[in-house]
Amino acid sequence: MITRVVLATDRGEIHIDADEGRAPLSAGDFLRYVRDGSYAGGLFQRAVTPQNDNGDPVIEIVQAAIAEGALPREPLDHESTEQSGIAHTEGVVSLPRGRLGTGTAASFFICVADSPGLDFGGTRVADGAGFAAFGKVVDGMDVVREIHRAPTLPDAPVEYLRGQLLADPVEIRAVHIVNY
- Nearest-angstrom CA–CA distance, 140 and 126: 32
Section 13-32 average pLDDT: 98
Over the stretch 70-103, which tens digit does the pLDDT of each residue have? Answer: 999 999 999 999 999 999 999 999 999 988 888 9
Section 25-30 average pLDDT: 98
**Could you tell me the pTM of the whole model?**
0.97
Q: How confident is the model at residue 180 (pLDDT cuts 50, 70, 90)?
A: low
The CATH number of residue 66's host domain is 2.40.100.10
Taking a C-beta distance cutoff of 8 angstroms, is the pair 1, 20 a contact?
yes
Helix (H, G, I), strand (E, B) or coil at 31: helix
**Bridge partners (DSSP) listed for residue 171:** 43
Count of the separate structural domains present in the chain: 1
Please, which residues have CB within 8 angstroms of residue 105's CB and are 6 or more apart in sequence?
26, 29, 30, 32, 33, 73, 76, 95
Q: CA angle at residue 66 from 51 to 153, to 5 degrees?
A: 30
Predicted pLDDT at 20: 97
